[in-house]
Amino acid sequence: MRDPHMDAPHIVIDNVSKVYQSGGREVVALRGIGLAVPRGQFVCLLGPSGCGKSTLLNAVAGFAPPSAGRVVADGREVAGPGPDRGMVFQEYALFPWMTVADNIAFGLEIKGARRAEIDATVARLLSMLSLGDFGQRYPKDLSGGMRQRVAIARVLALDSPVMLMDEPFGALDALTRRNLQDELLRIWAELGKTILFVTHSIEEAIYLADRVVVMTYRPGTVKRDLMVELPRPRDPAAPGFNALARELGTLVMEEQRRHQHDELRREAAD
Ligand SMILES: Nc1ncnc2c1ncn2[C@@H]1O[C@H](COP(=O)(O)OP(=O)(O)OP(=O)(O)O)[C@@H](O)[C@H]1O
């Protein structure tokens, strides 16, 4: 018999709005966002700077509650951060005083896992993320790409069914970035995580996602929500890839222009 629980959306973003108070002004960062994300789906949130992508991800993570609406994860309303939702940031949020292995082990130690389990998990993740020889190194001795592998391993150690990723590869050079995108796709296929991934790269969104959600510039709303039907592994040189990149490019550029317009208007007012 099918388990009806497994068919329910994994994440529901239900009419979410967010208003910030800034210097006596109200900034409406998100307005009326609604999305239902099935279990195992890879969703990219795409849009120019300032369209509220991080704000939305933070609401799902439970770091900053919405001003209106709600987020539901696995049938429970999100009231704060939880081990079911792991976050990977752009800036490698590693402890500089801990070795790579200790960074990966940290969450499990806090949870009170047994030593043997921790050691086995760390060994498995070092191998999964091609960090095999780096367990005893410190973050400062690693390249940006290697540090981001450690950040991903750290989240995977907790075995969160949901991975929230805020421009995790934004600071990496093109080759390292492609490498990590491929690793992430492999891990996603193997472990069946639900992923919400923020990016402002159209190419990255099409390369990775099952579904791309394009957001508008302030207030952030859903401008377009589309499924990427291209076969995997995706080929950025394929005509279908390029056609979709052009379509998304037009949408993102419209919002980028609104962003620039807004900035010019504010500069003129100052
Ligand atoms: N704490 C805050 N106080 C006031 N305004 C904020 C705050 N955080 C974000 N904002 C504003 O809300 C809007 C959305 O910000 P957010 O960081 O979510 O956008 P983003 O799409 O993730 O942008 P970026 O790609 O630059 O990170 C922006 O206009 C930003 O200036």
% of the chain residues with pLDDT over 90: 70
CA–centroid distance, residue 54 to ligand 1 (Å):
7
Q: Is the pLDDT of residue 35 over 90?
A: yes
pLDDT of residue 203: 97
The model's pTM: 0.92
- The Cα 162–Cα 37 span in angstroms is 11
pLDDT of residue 6: 62
CATH of the domain at 235: 3.40.50.300
The answer to whether residue 132 is domain-embedded is no
Render pLDDT for 39-53 as a digit per residue (tens, 0 to 9): 999 999 999 888 999
Q: What is the mean pLDDT of residues 54-67?
A: 96
pLDDT of residue 91: 75
The answer to whether residue 89 is domain-embedded is no
The answer to whether residue 41 is domain-embedded is yes
- The Cα 12–Cα 242 span in angstroms is 31
Q: Is the pLDDT of residue 58 over 90?
A: yes
CA–centroid distance, residue 52 to ligand 1 (Å):
6
pLDDT of residue 75: 95
Altogether, the residues listed in the chain come to a count of: 270
Closest residue by Cα to residue 54 from 89, 16, 91: 89
The answer to whether residue 177 is domain-embedded is no
CA–centroid distance, residue 188 to ligand 1 (Å):
28
pLDDT of residue 172: 84
Buried-exposed string 236-247: b where 16+ CB fall within 10 A, e elsewhere: eeeeebeebbee
ipTM of the complex: 0.96
- Two tokens at 241? 């890839």
Render pLDDT for 172-230 as a digit per residue (tens, 0 to 9): 888 888 988 998 999 899 999 999 999 999 999 999 999 999 999 989 999 999 999 99
pLDDT of residue 5: 58
Give Rg (Cα) of the chain.
Answer: 19
Render pLDDT for 226-241 as a digit per residue (tens, 0 to 9): 999 999 999 999 999 9
Ordered DSSP codes for 45-97: EE--TTSSHHHHHHHHHTSS--SEEEEEETTEE--S--TTEEEE-SS----TT
**Pairing mode, strands 194-199 and 42-46:** parallel
User: Which residue range is the domain that position 197 belongs to?
Assistant: 4-84+167-172+193-269
Nearest residue (by CA) to ligand 1, atom 17, is 54
The answer to whether residue 11 is domain-embedded is yes
CA–centroid distance, residue 156 to ligand 1 (Å):
27
The answer to whether residue 115 is domain-embedded is no
- The Cα 169–Cα 92 span in angstroms is 10
- Name residue 91's amino acid: E
Q: What is the mean pLDDT of residues 85-108?
A: 90
Count of domains observed in the chain: 1
The answer to whether residue 122 is domain-embedded is no
Ordered DSSP codes for 106-164: HHHHHHT--HHHHHHHHHHHHHHTT-GGGTTS-GGGS-HHHHHHHHHHHHHHTT-SEEE
The answer to whether residue 104 is domain-embedded is no
Closest residue by Cα to residue 220 from 4, 40, 55: 55
pLDDT-derived band at 3 (thresholds 50, 70, 90) equals low
DSSP annotation of 192 reads: -
Ligand 1 mutation target, pool 45, 54, 200, most atoms within 8 A of CB: 54
- The Cα 231–Cα 207 span in angstroms is 10
pLDDT of residue 2: 52
Q: Residue 269, by phi and psi: left (phi above 0), alpha (psi -120 to 50) or beta?
A: alpha
pLDDT of residue 192: 93
